[in-house]
């Protein structure tokens, strides 16, 4: 029996250890060391930034939902998601949902739609803001994180801003009151090693023009929560699926152990 108990412990221990190590959030890789000969300041490697979000973090999802309803729904819909489904999945009480998250004119049972008519949007922005239900799946969470964090001031653009992840985007820098306004600083590099090769501009780093209401760390958190929410919306069942998966594995392991014991019991006299 003692043998059996230790077997079960070992079998149970493995998936638990796995589960504990699973949500290893990747920190956004900020900068890389400057190459030899480059100026002292290390260039910002925004292409390597990671969202580092976790849909298992329910508080982050709740904050992300709030961010979306405050800053995105004016232009973007989530047409496959109902308010009530979102509230159920995130354990948001109905009273809080109705008072704080449901857009005016909508009810709990409605899909999350934007009040901006598509035609007006096309006139104002030259493009209709896309529905964001599946954007995390079509573009990846890391892309969304980079997109929301690389808006910079560009007075020559119609929106007065541009974006590194999506150059010439028609979306204005809607988070600049939180993040502040920043300029992109470029450095000149030779476009190839050949003698007389033309110089080209390569993005180097951002420079703050005016600070926002959030510190850079707080803004990173704001963007991570928002991206986390869009990750959830793209695959709402994933939160439940992951937690059920663990129990299914545990159950199967227990069943195997019992079957093994039963087999031993049956065969012990047959020799």
Q: Decide: is 76 part of the binding site for ligand HEC (CB under 6 A).
A: yes
Q: Contact region for ligand HEC (CB under 6 A) — 6-14, 69-77, 242-250, 253-261? A: 69-77
Task: Evaluate whether 87 touches 107 at the Cβ level (below 8 Å).
Answer: no
What's the min distance (Å) between Cβ of 222 and ligand HEC? 9
C-alpha dihedral over 74, 210, 163, 76, to 10 degrees? Answer: -10
For residues 142-161, which are near ligand HEC according to CB under 6 A? 144, 147-148
Q: Contact region for ligand HEC (CB under 6 A) — 18-26, 53-61, 163-171, 196-204? A: 163-171
Q: Decide: is 71 part of the binding site for ligand HEC (CB under 6 A).
A: yes
For residues 180-209, which are near ligand HEC according to CB under 6 A? none
HEC per residue, the chain: CHHHHHHHHHHHHHHHHHHHHCCCCCCCCCECCCCCCCCCCCCECHHHCCCCCCCCCHHHHHHHHHHHHHHCCCCCCEEEEEHHHHHHHCCCCHHHHHHHHCCCCCCCCCEECCCCCHHHHHHHHCCCCCCCCCHHHHHCHHHHHHHHHCEEECCCCCCCEEECCCCCCCCCCCCHHHHEEEEEEEEEEECCCCCCCCEEEEEEEEEEEEECCCCHHHHHHHHHHHHHHHHHHHCCCHHHHHHHHHHHHHHHHHHHHHHHHHHHHHHCCCC
Q: Residues 57, 69, 78, CA angle at the centre, nearest 5°?
A: 85
Q: Contact region for ligand HEC (CB under 6 A) — 15-23, 68-76, 247-255, 263-271? A: 68-76
Q: Contact region for ligand HEC (CB under 6 A) — 1-9, 51-59, 74-82, 253-261? A: 74-82
Q: Judged by CB, which is closer to ligand HEC: 161, or 204?
A: 161
Q: How far apart are CA 67 and CA 227, in angstroms?
A: 10
Among 80, 111, 125, 203, binds ligand HEC (CB under 6 A): 125
Q: Decide: is 166 part of the binding site for ligand HEC (CB under 6 A).
A: yes
Q: Decide: is 75 part of the binding site for ligand HEC (CB under 6 A).
A: yes
Among 172, 181, 212, 246, binds ligand HEC (CB under 6 A): 172
What's the min distance (Å) between Cβ of 132 and ligand HEC? 6
What's the min distance (Å) between Cβ of 220 and ligand HEC? 14
Q: Judged by CB, which is closer to ligand HEC: 112, or 144?
A: 144
Sequence-separated (6 or more) residues with CB below 8 Å from residue 136: 144, 227, 230, 231, 233, 234, 235
Q: Which residue is nearest to ligand HEC (CB)?
A: 72
For residues 216-235, which are near ligand HEC according to CB under 6 A? 226
What's the min distance (Å) between Cβ of 58 and ligand HEC? 19
Q: Give the total of residues touching ligand HEC (CB under 6 A).
A: 23
The binding site for ligand HEC (CB under 6 A) comprises 71-72, 74-76, 125, 127, 129-130, 132, 135, 139, 144, 147-148, 166, 169-172, 174-175, 226
């Amino acid at each position: 029996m003692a043998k059996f108990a230790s077997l079960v412990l070992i079998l149970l221990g493995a998936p638990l250890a796995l589960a504990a190590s699973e949500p290893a959030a990747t920190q956004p890789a900020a900068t890389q060391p400057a190459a030899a000969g480059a100026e002292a300041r290390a260039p910002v490697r925004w292409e390597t930034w990671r969202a580092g979000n976790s849909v298992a973090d329910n508080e982050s999802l709740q904050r992300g939902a709030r961010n979306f309803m405050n800053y995105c729904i004016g232009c973007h819909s989530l047409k496959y998601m109902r308010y009530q489904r979102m509230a159920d999945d995130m354990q948001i009480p109905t009273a809080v949902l109705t008072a704080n998250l449901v857009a005016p004119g909508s009810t709990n049972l409605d899909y999350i739609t934007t009040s901006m008519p598509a035609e007006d949007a096309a006139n104002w922005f030259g493009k209709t803001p896309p529905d964001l239900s599946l954007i995390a799946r079509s573009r990846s969470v890391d892309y969304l994180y980079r997109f929301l964090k690389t808006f910079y001031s560009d007075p020559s653009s119609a929106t007065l801003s541009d974006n590194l992840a999506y150059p010439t985007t028609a979306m204005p820098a809607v988070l600049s009151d939180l993040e502040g306004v920043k300029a992109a600083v470029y450095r000149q590099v030779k476009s190839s090693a050949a003698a007389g090769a033309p110089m080209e501009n390569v993005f180097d780093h951002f420079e703050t023009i005016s600070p926002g209401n959030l510190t850079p760390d707080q803004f990173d958190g704001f963007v991570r929560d928002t991206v986390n929410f869009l990750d959830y919306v793209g695959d709402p069942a994933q939160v439940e699926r992951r937690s059920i998966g663990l129990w299914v594995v545990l159950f199967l392991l227990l069943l195997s152990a019992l079957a093994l014991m039963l087999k031993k019991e049956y065969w012990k006299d047959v020799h």
